């Protein structure tokens, strides 16, 4: 789908893709729909954004990542709340503008005030963790590399911090019958075994040490 243009060809491809996703059954997590840098909110694109609700299944979990600041506004938040879509919170060092016109740091700034769905928060962290240690833990956490895009090992100490913060988040927010937490590791462009594998092992061990059940 290019610039939210929904036509018959795209709908057919989407249905094929979604049917394959459903094969994952209980293992299916949130799907991320990422908007490119420079793709702005206008009257036309806002209307198309609304129209996505005609295609995306109501029972699915969908997160939207915006890389243009124009999308971070109350009008869009209200649309997302209506359809129970998740706003992707972005935390990035963007001096090279690879995340469009987004400022350095977290957007939106206050995560709790901009929670648009009832199943969690999707949080993407692009910081070099050596420069800015953060403990914002939510429903889905992505690791893209501490030394650059998709590179570097976060390490045992950092994974323990993540596990401890996650445990604290669960204790403070366990007001639902079931809460799922998803981690994905995308720091695959360095080291052997890949940094993603090393960090995943560190995280699993940290949860075991904390006596947290892992499926």
Question: In Å, how far from its chain's centre is CA 54?
Answer: 23
Mean pLDDT of 91-104: 76
How does the average pLDDT of the chain come out, rounded?
A: 78
Number of domains into which the chain is organized: 1
In a domain, 154, yes or no: yes
In a domain, 29, yes or no: no
In a domain, 23, yes or no: no
pLDDT digits (tens, 9 = 90+) for 153-210: 778 888 888 788 767 766 666 554 455 566 767 666 666 677 788 888 888 899 888 8
pLDDT digits (tens, 9 = 90+) for 14-51: 999 999 999 999 888 899 999 999 899 999 999 999 99
Tokens 């005030």, located at residue: 113
Tokens 């075994």, located at residue: 193
In a domain, 88, yes or no: no
- Partner residues linked to 124 by β-bridges: 90, 142
pLDDT, residue 46, reads 97
In a domain, 206, yes or no: yes
In a domain, 22, yes or no: no
Closest CA to 117 of 89, 157, 153: 89
Which one has a higher pLDDT value, 1 or 67? 67
Which one has a higher pLDDT value, 53 or 196? 53
pLDDT, residue 45, reads 96
pLDDT, residue 49, reads 97
In a domain, 147, yes or no: yes
In a domain, 76, yes or no: no
pLDDT digits (tens, 9 = 90+) for 105-138: 777 876 666 789 888 767 665 544 333 333 333 3
Residue range(s) defining the domain that contains residue 143: 127-215
């Amino acid at each position: 789908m290019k610039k939210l243009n929904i036509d018959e060809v795209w709908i057919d491809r989407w249905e094929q893709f979604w049917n394959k996703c459903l094969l994952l059954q209980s293992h299916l997590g949130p799907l991320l729909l990422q908007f490119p840098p420079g793709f702005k909110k206008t009257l036309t694109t806002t209307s198309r954004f609304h129209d996505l609700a005609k295609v995306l299944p109501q029972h699915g979990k969908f997160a939207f990542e915006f890389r243009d600041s124009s999308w971070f506004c109350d009008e869009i938040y209200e649309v997302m709340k209506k359809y129970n879509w998740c706003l992707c919170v972005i935390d990035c060092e963007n001096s090279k503008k690879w995340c469009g016109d987004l400022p350095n740091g977290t957007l939106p700034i206050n995560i709790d005030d901009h929670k648009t769905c009832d199943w969690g928060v999707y949080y993407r962290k692009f910081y070099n963790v050596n420069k800015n240690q953060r403990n914002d833990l939510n429903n889905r956490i992505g690791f893209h590399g501490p030394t650059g895009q998709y590179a570097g090992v976060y390490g045992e100490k950092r994974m323990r911090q993540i596990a401890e913060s996650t445990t604290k988040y669960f204790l403070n927010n366990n007001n639902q019958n079931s809460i799922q937490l998803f981690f994905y590791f995308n720091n695959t462009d360095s080291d052997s075994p890949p940094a993603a594998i090393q960090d995943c092992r560190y995280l699993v061990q940290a949860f075991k040490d904390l006596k947290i059940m892992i499926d």
